[in-house]
Amino acid sequence: MLAVIKTGGKQYIVTPGQKLKVEKLVGEEGAAINFEEILLVEDDNKKVAVGQPVVEGAEVNAKIVAQTKGPKVIAYKYKPKKRYHRKKGHRQQLTEVEITAIKI
């Protein structure tokens, strides 16, 4: 079974038991969450349900494993011969989730 979910402005292909990192979601470690925006679902018989824009009645259940941060990204601006430079760092906040079930 697999599904395509939408969260944080991105789309992910997920299967039960899979762990993935998504943009920060509100919740404590071990808390259960549900994704309602399901764009596509394929069951064990290879039958595919495509949503327009979402599949009605489908949901993906997940468990929050950890609240983490991504790698540091450096933004550097520089203008030659003008003694201008700016350096800024950023670490995106992420949530690691484990997909527990896909329901149609």
DSSP 26-86: S--TT-EEEE--EEEEE-TT--EEE-SSS-TT-EEEEEEEEEEEEEEEEEEEEETTTTEEE
pLDDT band at 54 (very low <50, low <70, confident <90, very high): very high
Q: Is the per-residue pLDDT at 82 higher than 90?
A: yes
pLDDT of residue 104: 85
Mean pLDDT on 27-52: 93
Mean pLDDT on 73-99: 97
Cβ(100)–Cβ(15) below 8 Å? no
What pTM did the predictor assign? 0.85
pLDDT of residue 6: 96
